[in-house]
Amino acid sequence: MTVESIPVDAAPQSLVWDGDELASVVGGGRRWGADGVTRKTPFAWSFPFDAGTVSASGRYSAVYQERGTKAVLLEGKRVVRELNRSYYRAPSYDYPLALGRLGDGREAVVHCPDEYNMLQIEDAASGERLTAGGGREPQDVFHSRLSLSPDGRYLLSVGWFWQPFGMALVYDTALALTDPGTLDGDGVLPPEAAANGEVTAGCWLDADRLVLATGEEDWNDEQTAALPPRHLGVWSISESRWLHRSPVADADPGVLLLPRGEQVISFLGHPRLLDPATGLIVAEWPEVALPAKTACFGSRRAPTPVAALHPDGTRLAVATAERIALITLP
């Protein structure tokens, strides 16, 4: 396991692999080659965007203010349109935004353009709202950290409700296209998939299995089938049960999880490679120091760690204040 470095004059605020090069959509397409050379671009945003995301296909990307209300959707270098979210408590939690392909093949944008608690799915190319319709009665949930399953069938929201307390909800996107009101309820996770611990992060291992991570906070001690504090849990949508529930070794998982085959990578303080079936640390890199962000909400904002896993799963790029660390994974 080796850690190489690409020096930077300012920490990248987004990273994505493009072949063997790294690019930053927030940086106007600035690139870093395998040779460590920075390739600057003449383009720069005239607005202080500080986060970015890219669809799995690579066709669409977006830049946004993580604790603001403004975003821009792009197709390549072309601006498709501006996106917005409600002002309500926007400075207190991360912007809810996901890009990806739905089960029917359409590239979509999932966000909360009207109300903090009302999810909408839109066609990326045209802007058509695919979940338009009346009768919506959203519950009092602040959606955040949205992600689509690899097949686009399900949507994960790792958000929070007022206490505040972090929680996870999963919705069936195919059902939502015919009945948008299904995005307003508890979703498809049954009560036994609830968490007594505060959910801080989640990711999809595949189209069926979901990994959830909990921090130190405890809601109550009555739901014995639920996910306890400081645990990693692997939930199967098709089997409707926990496949694994394991205490997390050494540290809380933090707010960001990246899937890597049967493993996940967490980023609280520094990168760790975890086995979600056991909660054990497979490898870690304390020399790659990162902000300790434990939740998607809070009055004191810490930026979400910026990292990108190469599609072949062998290399992890992590942005720090003075470099991009390139980690060769075991």
- In whole angstroms, what is the distance from residue 99 CA to residue 274 CA? 26
- Confidence category of residue 268, pLDDT binned at 50, 70, 90: very high
What is the model's pLDDT at position 222?
A: 62
Q: Are 231 and 242 in contact (CB under 8 A)?
A: no
- In whole angstroms, what is the distance from residue 279 CA to residue 272 CA? 11
Per residue in 61-72, pLDDT (tens digit) is 999 999 999 999
- Confidence category of residue 286, pLDDT binned at 50, 70, 90: very high
Per residue in 159-189, pLDDT (tens digit) is 999 889 999 999 999 999 999 999 999 999 9
- Confidence category of residue 133, pLDDT binned at 50, 70, 90: confident
49-58, 110-119, 186-195: least confidently modelled range: 186-195
Per residue in 73-112, pLDDT (tens digit) is 999 999 999 999 999 999 999 999 999 999 999 999 999 9
What is the model's pLDDT at position 42?
A: 67
Kindly state the average pLDDT of the residues 268-277.
Answer: 95
All structural domains of the chain: 189-286+294-299 (2.40.128)
Q: What is the DSSP string of 147-199?
A: EE-TTSSEEEEEEEETTTEEEEEEEEHHHHHH-GGGGGS-TT--GGG-BSEEE
pTM of structure: 0.95
- In whole angstroms, what is the distance from residue 147 CA to residue 168 CA? 11
What is the model's pLDDT at position 191?
A: 80
What is the model's pLDDT at position 262?
A: 97
Kindly state the average pLDDT of the residues 262-268.
Answer: 96
Q: Are 71 and 82 in contact (CB under 8 A)?
A: yes
Helix, coil or strand: residue 90: helix
> Of 151, 147, 196, 192, which Cα lies nearest the Cα of 170?
147
- Confidence category of residue 221, pLDDT binned at 50, 70, 90: low
Q: Are 207 and 148 in contact (CB under 8 A)?
A: no
What is the model's pLDDT at position 224?
A: 61
Per residue in 223-239, pLDDT (tens digit) is 566 898 999 999 999 99
Query: In sequence order, what are the residues at sequence separation of 6 or more whose Cβ sits closer than 8 angstroms to the Cβ of residue 116?
Result: 85, 86, 88, 89, 90, 142, 143
Kindly state the average pLDDT of the residues 46-56.
Answer: 96
Instruction: Specify the higher pLDDT residue, 125 or 29.
Output: 125
CA 259 to chain centre: 11
- In whole angstroms, what is the distance from residue 143 CA to residue 90 CA? 11
Q: Are 109 and 99 in contact (CB under 8 A)?
A: yes
- Total number of residues shown for the chain: 330
